[in-house]
C-alpha cells in the first residue's frame, strides 16, 4: 500500500509537488479526531494548519509516521510530547512570515492612532464638521510596548523606530543587551502595561502565557491605551474582559487578528464596537509570505523523510 501524506488544511501546489515523491497527498475534509485517527494509519507525514489539531490519539494511530509539518510559528495545536515520545520531529516555519505579521501589527497601531475607521465613517455619514474634534493621536513620543521580543517583536520595533516612538518590551527569555541593540528598553510586564500607549502582543503561546492579559493585568494598563493581538487568541483571557475595558475606557481600542476559539462568536457585543478592529486571522496571509511558509515547511519535511535534519524543528532532541 502506498504511503500517505495527510494534510489537515490546504497547502500550495508547489509544496505538494515537493512532497509527492514520498507518498500520496491527501487533503482531509474534516478536523474531527476520530475521522483522522482512521485516516492516518498509513501516513508517513502529517500537516496541520488553521484550526486543525494533531492530538496524541492521531499520532499513536499513525504507526508509520516520520514527520509532522506545521505552517507558521505556533504549534499549540500539536501534542509535542506525544510526537517526541515517538521520535517524530515536528517542523515549523519561524521567520517565514515574520515581517508581514509585524507590518500588520503596525497597520493596526496606525489605524487606531489616526482613527482611520472613525474618520471614514464620519465623512461617509456627511459629518464634515467632525474634523474639528482634534481626536487623532501622535505617534511621535508615544510609547509602544511589545510583549514577546522574538523575531516578530524585533521587526515591529524597527518599523516603529522611524515614527520616533519610545519602544519598550517584555520578554523573560531575552537579555537587556539584546534589547538594547535594537534601541529597546526591556522591562517587566507590569511596567510595560503601566507605560505603553500601544501594547502589541507577539508572545508564543505556552502554559505560562495563556491568559497573560487577564482582568487583573488590565487593571495595570495605562488608561486610554490600545491593545493589539496578532499572536495567539488564548494570550487574552476572554473577549469579555476586553469588552469591559473598552466600555470603561481603560482601553481606547483593540485590534484583533486572532481569537479563542476560532472562528469567534461574532454575536459577542465587542464586535459592535467601532474601536474594535478585527480580521479573520488573515493579516499575515499574503500570497508571497504564504508561499514561503508552504515551501519552507515542505522542504524541511522532505529533509526528514530523506533521513536528514530539518532547518527548523520544535523538538530537535528526537535526533539525539
- Tell me which DSSP letter residue 78 carries: B
The grid cell for 247 is 466600555
Contacts of residue 167, Cβ cutoff 8 Å, sequence gap at least 6: 143, 144, 146, 157, 160, 161, 182, 183, 184, 185
Q: 200 — phi, psi (to 5°)?
A: -110, 120
* Active-site position among 13, 38, 247, 262: 262
CB 232 within 8 A of CB 258: yes
Contacts of residue 234, Cβ cutoff 8 Å, sequence gap at least 6: 76, 205, 210, 211, 260
Q: Please report where in the chains the cell 513620543 appears, as a residue.
A: 141
* Active-site position among 49, 70, 112, 232: 232
Least Cα distance to 91 among 313, 318, 317, 241 occurs for 313
Containing H/E element for 244?
helix 239-248
Contacts 24+ apart (CB under 8 A), 69-72: 69/45, 69/297, 69/298, 69/300, 69/301, 70/297, 70/314, 71/9, 71/11, 71/47, 71/290, 71/293, 71/294, 71/297, 72/96, 72/97, 72/293
- Tell me which DSSP letter residue 233 carries: G
Is-catalytic flag, 232? yes
The grid cell for 42 is 498509513
Q: 116 — phi, psi (to 5°)?
A: -60, -45
Is-catalytic flag, 247? no
* Active-site position among 49, 70, 154, 281: 281
CA pair distance 297, 47, nearest whole angstrom: 9
Is-catalytic flag, 281? yes
Partners of residue 27 on adjacent β-strands: 7
**Active site members:** 232, 262, 281
Amino acid at each position: 500500500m502506498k504511503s500517505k501524506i495527510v494534510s489537515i488544511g490546504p497547502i500550495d501546489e508547489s509544496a505538494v509537488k515537493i512532497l509527492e515523491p514520498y507518498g500520496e497527498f491527501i487533503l482531509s475534509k474534516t478536523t474531527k479526531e476520530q475521522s483522522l485517527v482512521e485516516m492516518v494509519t498509513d501516513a508517513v507525514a502529517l500537516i496541520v494548519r488553521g484550526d486543525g489539531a494533531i492530538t496524541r490519539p492521531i499520532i499513536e494511530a499513525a504507526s508509520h509516521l516520520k514527520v509532522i509539518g506545521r505552517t507558521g510559528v505556533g504549534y499549540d495545536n500539536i501534542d509535542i510530547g506525544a510526537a517526541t515520545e515517538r521520535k517524530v520531529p515536528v517542523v515549523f516555519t519561524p521567520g517565514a512570515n515574520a515581517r508581514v505579521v509585524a507590518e500588520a501589527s503596525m497597520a493596526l497601531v496606525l489605524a487606531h492612532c489616526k482613527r482611520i475607521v472613525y474618520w471614514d465613517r464620519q465623512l461617509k455619514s456627511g459629518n464634515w464638521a467632525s474634523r474639528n474634534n482634534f481626536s487623532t493621536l501622535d505617534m511621535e513620543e508615544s510609547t509602544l510596548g511589545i510583549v514577546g521580543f522574538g523575531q516578530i517583536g524585533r521587526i515591529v520595533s524597527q518599523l516603529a523606530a522611524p515614527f520616533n516612538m519610545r519602544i519598550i518590551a517584555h520578554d523573560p527569555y531575552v537579555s537587556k543587551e539584546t534589547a538594547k541593540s535594537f534601541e529597546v528598553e526591556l522591562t517587566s510586564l507590569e511596567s510595560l502595561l503601566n507605560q505603553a500607549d500601544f501594547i502589541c502582543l507577539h508572545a508564543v503561546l505556552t502554559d505560562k502565557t495563556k491568559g497573560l492579559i487577564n482582568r487583573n493585568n488590565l487593571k495595570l494598563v495605562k488608561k486610554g491605551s490600545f491593545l493589539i493581538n496578532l499572536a495567539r487568541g488564548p494570550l487574552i483571557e476572554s473577549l469579555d474582559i476586553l469588552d469591559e475595558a473598552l466600555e470603561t475606557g481603560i482601553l481606547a481600542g483593540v485590534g484583533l487578528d486572532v481569537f479563542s476559539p476560532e472562528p469567534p462568536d461574532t454575536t459577542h457585543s465587542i464586535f459592535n464596537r467601532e474601536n474594535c478592529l478585527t480580521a479573520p486571522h488573515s493579516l499575515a496571509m499574503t500570497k508571497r509570505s504564504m508561499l514561503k511558509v508552504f515551501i519552507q515547511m515542505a522542504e524541511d519535511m522532505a529533509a526528514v523523510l530523506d533521513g536528514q535534519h530539518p532547518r527548523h524543528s520544535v523538538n530537535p532532541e528526537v535526533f539525539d
